Amino acid sequence: MTLNLGELAQTLGARLEGDESIEVSRLNEIQIAASNEISFLSNPKYLKYVKTTQAVALIVPDDMDIDFPNLLRSSNPKQAMLKALQLLNYQDRVHKPGIHSTAVIDSETSVPKSAEIGPGVVIGKDVKLGENIILESNVVIESGSQIGDLSHLYPNVVLYKDSVLGNNCIIHSGAVIGSDGFGFAVESGEIQKIPQTGNVILGNQVEIGANCAIDRGSIGPTSIGDGTKLDNLVHIAHNVRVGKNCFLTAQIAIAGSTELGDRVQMGGQSGVIGHLKVGNDVSIATRGGVTKDIPDGMMVSGFPARSHRDELKIEAIIKKLPELYKAVKTLEKQGNKT
């Protein structure tokens, strides 16, 4: 889409400083933006690019001190940037209802006319499919599963039997939903598999990143609440309960039977051991290792995870260890002399 700066400013609710007639077709990074593109600047770290960028205009905070020919000033520049991305960059995928000739669908499963079923898709018995869903190439949906309206599964997604997806879910390539949980018992020195008889239930507007693995429950369900987003390479173990509107970043692992409250945020490579309860509005910093319950509203970091403030104090002390070591050795030498 192409808009002039005047139209764009009005749509974004921004205040334009510059020429409203200039046309723009895309938003791009400030380092590489072309002369028909706009860019975004809120972090002072990127001010150095203002003199070299080819961008015709910049979205900036209301109070930023900056000399540039065309500015779109906003009280919420991040939100303005997101709107600009949707307007200028984003192109809706064209929905093409129909069933590809190579799809294999059980005779006891009904496919809505509004559904798009791609090449190589396999759908098992008694699967319930919502309206306007998209199943891209080589998706496998096993028997008894349910997929809500407007959900989109990218190529090579696998839903094991009895998995349930809500409306408007997005599942990216390579994700596996409902595989067996890691349940085993040792009897007389032999490892015996514990049957995994539960399922996975995803709420509405859940997004699962590429190559995630969400295990089915051993008896009851593994569940993920409405609006929760998983980055790539996240592992959710059996019988985990994840609340609503959580953000789980890449390479996270949550062990079995742990409960996460609503609006929990977890940084990359963090994890939670099994059978714990993490409260609402908790933040777990990158590489944080949670080994005990966490109450509502707390921010934790480190391993084992503790109050982020306490962890910062510990890190500050660790940095002084070489000096403390020298001081102790000096005192030892003085003691030996006396």
Give the model confidence (pLDDT) of 85-103 as tens digits: 999 998 778 899 999 999 9
| pLDDT value of position 332 | 84
**Residue 274's CATH number:** 2.160.10.10
Asked if 221 and 306 sit in the same domain, the reply is: yes
238 is catalytic: yes
Please tell me the distance from the alpha carbon of residue 310 to that of residue 336, in angstroms, as a whole number. Answer: 36
Asked if 190 and 246 sit in the same domain, the reply is: yes
**Residue 67's CATH number:** 3.40.1390.10
Examine the fold and report which residue of 66, 89, 112 is the final residue of a domain before the chain moves on.
89
Query: Which two three-digit tokens encode residue 232?
Result: 């790539």
Asked if 140 and 206 sit in the same domain, the reply is: yes
Asked if 30 and 165 sit in the same domain, the reply is: no
Asked if 162 and 54 sit in the same domain, the reply is: no
| Three-state secondary structure of 193-239 | ECCCCCCEEECCCCEECCCCEEECCCCCCEEECCCCEECCCCEECCC
User: What total number of domains does the chain contain?
Assistant: 2
Examine the fold and report which residue of 63, 89, 115 is the final residue of a domain before the chain moves on.
89
Would residue 328 count as lying in a domain? no
Asked if 23 and 129 sit in the same domain, the reply is: no
Give the model confidence (pLDDT) of 295-304 as tens digits: 999 999 999 8
pLDDT band at 244 (very low <50, low <70, confident <90, very high): very high
Asked if 206 and 62 sit in the same domain, the reply is: no
Would residue 336 count as lying in a domain? no
Would residue 208 count as lying in a domain? yes
Would residue 165 count as lying in a domain? yes
Give the model confidence (pLDDT) of 262-294 as tens digits: 999 999 999 999 999 999 999 999 999 999 999
Examine the fold and report which residue of 89, 121, 145 is the final residue of a domain before the chain moves on.
89
β-strand pairing of 213-215 with 15-17: unpaired
Q: Please, what is the average pLDDT of the chain?
A: 95
Asked if 185 and 279 sit in the same domain, the reply is: yes
H or E stretch including 18?
none
Give the model confidence (pLDDT) of 133-169 as tens digits: 999 999 999 999 999 999 999 999 999 999 999 999 9
Would residue 283 count as lying in a domain? yes
Please tell me the distance from the alpha carbon of residue 157 to that of residue 150, in angstroms, as a whole number. Answer: 16
Please tell me the distance from the alpha carbon of residue 56 to that of residue 216, in angstroms, as a whole number. Answer: 51
Taking CA atoms, 56 is separated from 19, 28, 42, 45, in Å, by: 10, 11, 17, 20
pLDDT band at 338 (very low <50, low <70, confident <90, very high): low
pLDDT at 81 exceeding the cut of 70: yes
Would residue 317 count as lying in a domain? no
Asked if 135 and 170 sit in the same domain, the reply is: yes
Interval 3-28 mean pLDDT: 94
Q: What is the CA radius of gyration of the chain?
A: 26
Would residue 289 count as lying in a domain? yes
Asked if 56 and 167 sit in the same domain, the reply is: no
Of 95, 238, 275, 308, the catalytic one is: 238
Would residue 326 count as lying in a domain? no
| pLDDT value of position 315 | 82
Asked if 56 and 191 sit in the same domain, the reply is: no
Q: Residue 75 is part of which domain span?
A: 3-89
Asked if 113 and 221 sit in the same domain, the reply is: yes
